[in-house]
């Protein structure tokens, strides 16, 4: 294993932060896998999964079983990891600006297209390398203005030339689920099987430019522009893995998830060995636009009436909001038939607070599909 340190732009005098990347396997290998944990820095389960992955990757490297370069960033957001409000961790947003660490990743699509248009040919592999080189050059040319932009550029530089990208997160209270692009679902599906995903949410463009989406959306856009003239591959294959809820931290769960990721890499041939037989897909993939999102219609004590990961029928009661003065309960029901894949962890709500989400097979939303 080779350890590299990537300094971030200094935020204030006397502070210095850096991102550490661990590189396993041959640096010059033809395939690259990139895995990062806790870009939302308070999503602790991902950090423990990364710790378990490290042990397995060391063993696999020592046994000469790695057929690809595998890059692990166990702490993807050292800035957010340092943020606390009166003892409570707050790693989803940069506190100074309110920016979400996993939104708005810049993709210099136009600059890349201009760089490569006169160089593309009919060799799809040569085109892939050309695009990755141009992307790297554009990232290096873009000088970050602050530590936030420096972090985003650092992570994108580490991942932009990877074939497979796994971005490890968690939700508030949730079942295992994944987000990925419609175009790459066929490659991601085995991971959803191994890891036991209860819901797989697909979108081409959620209009959030999250880390995984920014990575694969570039290729979609380039294919739309050049596909009738030049072959453009589906790279990178990127997926957000939601490792249940914030309190789902245990050796057993982290060990299961790390082993499932290694099973997936073995299935892809990045790890030498016989892959474990594919488990059944627990539920079919559904469009992200089909997910119903629920909001509190009034203030009160939130009582959950359905477990995360459970199958929900249209019309089923999901939440009660109880007025502490009158004791009257307002019930929120689902319009979807699907899986309750995440729900709120705070048990008192105000009007407009998000309550949870149920997957659905039919698109019912448009525009921005991810929360802030």
DSSP E strands, 1-50: 2-7, 18-24, 32-37
Task: Tell me what pLDDT residue 235 has.
Answer: 78
For residue 53, give the DSSP letter: H
CA distance 253 to 258: 9
How confident is the model over 9-15, as a mean pLDDT? 94
Cβ neighbour number for residue 361 with a 10 Å cutoff = 12
CA distance 223 to 232: 5
Task: Tell me what pLDDT residue 28 has.
Answer: 77
Say if residue 229's pLDDT is above 80: yes
297-308 pLDDT, tens digit each: 999 999 999 999
Say if residue 27's pLDDT is above 80: no
Question: What are the angstrom distances between the C-alpha of 25 and each of 28, 79, 256, 271?
Answer: 9, 28, 23, 10
Q: Could you tell me how many residues make up the chain?
A: 372
108-148 pLDDT, tens digit each: 899 999 999 999 999 999 999 999 999 999 999 999 999 99
CB hemisphere CA count around 80 (13 angstroms): 25
- DSSP class per residue in 210-254: -HHHHHHHHHHHHHHHHTTTS------EEEEEEEEETT---HHHH
Cβ neighbour number for residue 71 with a 10 Å cutoff = 22
CA angle 182-187-191, nearest 5°? 105
Contact between residue 359 and residue 290 where contact means Cβ atoms under 8 Å apart: yes
Task: Tell me what pLDDT residue 234 has.
Answer: 80
The percent of residues in the chain predicted with pLDDT above 90, rounded, is 94
Task: Tell me what pLDDT residue 35 has.
Answer: 98
Task: Tell me what pLDDT residue 238 has.
Answer: 96
Q: Is the pTM of this model over 0.95?
A: yes
Task: Tell me what pLDDT residue 227 has.
Answer: 82
CA distance 99 to 101: 6
Say if residue 372's pLDDT is above 80: no
Query: What tokens were used for 26?
Result: 């041959």
For residue 163, give the DSSP letter: S
CA distance 263 to 277: 9
How confident is the model over 220-242, as a mean pLDDT? 92
How confident is the model over 338-349, as a mean pLDDT? 97
How confident is the model over 50-79, as a mean pLDDT? 98
Q: Burial, 250: exposed, middle or buried (Cβ in 10 Å; 0-12, 13-18, 19+)?
A: exposed
Reported as type and span, the H/E element at residue 153 is: helix 147-159
The mean pLDDT value of the chain amounts to 96
């Amino acid at each position: 294993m080779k350890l590299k340190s990537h300094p971030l732009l200094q935020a204030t005098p006397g502070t210095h932060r850096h991102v550490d990347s661990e590189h396993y396997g041959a640096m010059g290998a033809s395939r690259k896998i990139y895995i990062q944990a806790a870009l939302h820095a308070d999503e602790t389960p991902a950090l423990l999964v990364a710790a378990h992955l490290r042990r397995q990757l060391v063993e696999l490297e020592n046994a000469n079983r790695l057929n690809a370069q595998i890059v692990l960033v166990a702490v993807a957001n050292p800035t957010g990891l340092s943020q606390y409000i009166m003892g409570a961790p707050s790693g989803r947003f940069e506190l100074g600006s309110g920016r979400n660490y996993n939104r708005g990743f810049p993709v210099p699509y136009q600059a890349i297209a201009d760089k490569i248009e006169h160089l593309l040919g009919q060799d799809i592999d040569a085109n892939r390398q050309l695009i990755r080189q141009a992307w790297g050059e554009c990232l290096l040319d873009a000088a970050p203005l602050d530590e936030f932009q420096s972090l985003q550029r650092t992570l994108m530089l580490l991942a932009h030339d990877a074939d497979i990208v796994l971005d490890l997160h968690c939700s508030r209270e949730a079942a295992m689920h994944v987000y990925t692009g419609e175009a790459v679902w066929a490659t991601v599906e085995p991971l959803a099987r191994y890891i036991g995903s209860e819901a797989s949410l697909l979108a081409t463009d959620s209009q959030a430019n999250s880390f995984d989406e920014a990575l694969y959306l570039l290729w979609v856009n380039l294919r739309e522009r050049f596909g009738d003239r030049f072959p453009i591959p589906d790279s990178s294959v990127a997926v957000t893995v939601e490792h249940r809820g914030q309190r789902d931290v245990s050796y057993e769960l982290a060990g299961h998830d790390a082993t499932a990721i290694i099973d997936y890499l073995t299935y892809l041939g990045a790890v030498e060995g016989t892959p474990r037989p594919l488990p059944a897909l627990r539920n079919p993939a559904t469009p992200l636009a089909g997910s119903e999102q629920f909001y509190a219609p009034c203030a009160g004590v939130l009582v959950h009436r359905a477990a995360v990961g459970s199958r929900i029928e249209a019309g089923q009661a999901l939440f009660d909001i109880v007025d502490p003065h009158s004791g009257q309960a307002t019930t929120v029901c689902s319009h979807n038939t699907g899986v309750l894949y995440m729900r709120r962890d705070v048990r008192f709500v105000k009007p407009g607070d998000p309550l949870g989400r149920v997957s659905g097979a039919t698109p019912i939303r448009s525009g921005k599909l991810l929360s802030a």
